[in-house]
A = this chain, B = another copy of it.
């Protein structure tokens, strides 16, 4: 399984959401055409995206909603529990901690961290806010799969380093900044330092969303179809 476009993974998440909507309406069957229309892509794109992961439908019969949903949950790794810490409990971090829906997918907040003395010791959604310096110690006793970074942009790189140092493998970065893995010089070459080798960074950046939106308002003819497959 190599060579899967990142846009395919984003679309799988969209298909999953559509399937959940269909299931909530007691719709038991769907088709690539139906999914495509609801997702705003072509039926060809839907079939191509799903084909990376196996055969989920029957030719001419479409898909069984609960089966395709279960398979997408499995593909996306949402059939297991993910332990999450939030770093940064300002307005955004608190909005994230309190956002409904995360727990539907077995994402479970296990720790909250900040550097602001006014926040440390406070309870947010039943968890105490701890100092970031305690993160490493915390991960010795508690399994942490992901860290959500909701700190100001100028703090993001340091906070990401704390997560990497603590052995956290996934970082969801909400700050409008590009996280760089630390590099070391080894035999005259810059190499990614050990603690970053297994770390995945994904970005959820609403300033980036605003900019994409500005572009597509000015260039609406470019937004109707994802042209990726024509390359």
Contact with B along A113-143 (1 / 0, CB 8 A): 0000000000000000000000000000000
Q: Which residues of A63-82 are within 8 A (CB) of B? A: 75-78, 82
Q: What CA separation (Å) do A209 and B205 show in the bound complex?
A: 10
Nearest-neighbour CB distance to chain B for A105, whole angstroms, equals: 7
- Nearest to A16 among chain B residues (CB) is B211
Q: What CA separation (Å) do A205 and B219 show in the bound complex?
A: 23
Interface contact A92-B82, CB-CB below 8 Å: no
**One of A26-34, A54-62, A172-180 at the interface:** A172-180
Interface contact B2-A210, CB-CB below 8 Å: no
Which A residues are closer than 8 A to B by beta carbons? 1-7, 9-10, 12-14, 16-18, 21, 38-39, 75-78, 82, 84, 90-92, 94-96, 98-102, 105, 107, 145-146, 152-153, 169-172, 174, 176-178, 180, 198, 200, 202-223, 226-231
